[in-house]
Amino acid sequence: MRWHTLYAMRVILISNQRKPKVVEALRTFRPWVAERAEIVADCDAYDDCPLDDPADAILVFGGDGTMLGVARRIVDLNVPMVGVNFGKLGFLAPFTLEDLKAMWDDLSEQRLPVRQRVLIEATIRESADAEPYFQSVAMNDCVVTAGPPFRIIDLELMINPKRHGEPGTCFSGDGVIVASPTGSTAYNLSAGGPIIAPDVEAMVVTPICAYTLSFRPTVLSSDDRVTLRVQRANEQTTVVIDGQLSTPLREGSVIEIAAYPKRLRVMANPRMGYWKTLSNKMHWARRPRLGSDD
């Protein structure tokens, strides 16, 4: 398919303008793009500018945190996100500015691979029958964290309670992580959870310092629904979305987590596959460094 418009394609630019390197790079890259595409929107990642005009790609300039925030915002647009890394790790942003320029023809001709990513959605109520007071999509994870004064909390965990009508299991600890496959390499990994390939239709539930030897990270289908009920909370027990959004919890609060109905479309860099990225940036399966015999 070729574009039948005046320009090769229509793009949205979203940039983290709190990063001086991004601002500087866009001074020259913006006119470069304008010669090759129609820029239908040009937004700061921290501004709530409208994204109403049709587009063929969304170019996002920043670090992984920028990608997370933009992903929650654009998932309903069904437009592929092209992450250009200006952060430290850049695990979610597979392109450099030089990559993007070199592959522009492939991008404009739709020859670059597009991956479908599972996002999760959290809905929180004061009780099981109450109206939701908080709802958010997450690209990485939804985390229940004990918070100050850092005593252990008690949670009831139920999987598909409405489908099976079975009671849940109760555990104590510092909280719990429910992560998407994309988020499996974030907090979930640090807490001892498994790495899940990003195209797998799944979620993972990983306890945070559970006060038991028997609660191990559990991989679920993306068709499953996770329900958490807070049985004992601290003064600042909180739900955190992607490490960016948060809302307080209290005893009796109910958190329902499920895969979001729509998938996030992410443009992949064909020069850097997922497992190569995992090895290069997170040193997956690398041998330990050994000292010399001298």
pTM: 0.92
Q: What is the rounded distance in angstroms from the CA atom of residue 66 to the CA atom of residue 92?
A: 9
Which CATH architecture does the domain made up of 10-117+263-282 adopt?
A: 3-Layer(aba) Sandwich (3.40)
pLDDT digits (tens, 9 = 90+) for 235-253: 999 999 999 999 999 999 9
* Domain range summary for the chain, segments of one domain joined by +: 10-117+263-282, 120-259
Contact 207, 170 (CB under 8 A): no
pLDDT > 70: percent of the chain: 94
Listed residue (106, 76, 82) closest to 94, CA to CA? 82
What pLDDT score does 79 carry?
A: 97
Active site residue 64: yes
Cβ neighbour number for residue 178 with a 10 Å cutoff: 24
**Tokens matching residue 124:** 């929180």
H-type alpha helices, the chain: 20-34, 64-74, 97-102, 104-108, 161-164, 187-190, 274-282
Rounded to an integer, what is the distance from CA 151 to the centroid of its chain?
28
H-type alpha helices, 214-273: none
Could you tell me if residue 192 is left (phi over 0), alpha (psi between -120 and 50 degrees) or otherwise beta? left
Average pLDDT over residues 91-111: 93
> Active-site residue among 42, 52, 64, 105?
64
What pLDDT score does 165 carry?
A: 67
Which CATH architecture does the domain made up of 120-259 adopt?
A: Sandwich (2.60)
pLDDT digits (tens, 9 = 90+) for 195-227: 999 999 999 999 999 999 999 999 999 999 999
Contact 64, 89 (CB under 8 A): yes
Q: How confident is the model at residue 280 (pLDDT cuts 50, 70, 90)?
A: confident
